[in-house]
Amino acid sequence: VAKPRTKDYGRLAVLTQWRTEPRILFSLPRDAFTPKPKVASAVVAFAPRDRPEPPCDVSTLERVTAAAFGQRRKMLRASLRQITPDAEGLLEALGLDPKARAEELEIGDFCRIANALEAQKNELA
C-alpha cells in the first residue's frame, strides 16, 4: 500500500497496486510474535482489479520494475540501461526526468515505460 516518494515504495508496491486494490485491514503489535520482531506487521487484503490500468504487458512491467528498483539509489537513466540502450532518450520521449529515481515514479509511469519498450521491440521485429 506504499505510495510514491516514500521509503517503503518499491517493486512490490507497484506490481501489487497495478493488479489489485490493497488495503490494510488491521495492524498487529510486535508483542503478538515470539521472538518479538523489529518491524510492525499488518494484515492486508488484496482485491483483484478486473483490468489493471493503465494496460501493459505484465512481463515487461516486471522487467522494468526489477531494473528500476534493483539499483534503487541510481537514476533511472542508469538503472534502465540494462533493458534498453537509450534509456535516457526513452525517458525524455515519455516526458520523464532521466535523473529521477524509481521511487519518484507513479504506477502509470512504469506502465508507460513498459509500453514504450514493447513498441520498440515490435518495431525491431
Supply the CATH number for residue 75's domain: 1.10.8.100
Whether 4 is covered by a domain: the verdict is: no
CA 121 – CA 109 distance, rounded (Å): 18
In a domain, 35, yes or no: yes
Structural domain boundaries enclosing 29: 11-48
Any domain includes 19: yes
Q: Tell me: the pLDDT tens digits for 41-92? A: 999 999 999 999 999 999 999 999 999 999 878 999 999 999 999 999 999 9
Is residue 2 one of the residues assigned to a domain?
no
Question: Over the stretch 19-43, which tens digit does the pLDDT of each residue have?
Answer: 999 999 999 999 999 999 988 899 9
- What does pTM read for this prediction? 0.90
Q: Are residues 42 and 64 in the same domain?
A: no
Same domain, 75 and 98: yes
Q: Which helix (H) or strand (E) holds 27?
A: strand 20-28
Q: What is the C-alpha to C-alpha distance for residues 14 and 86, in angstroms, rounded to an integer?
A: 23
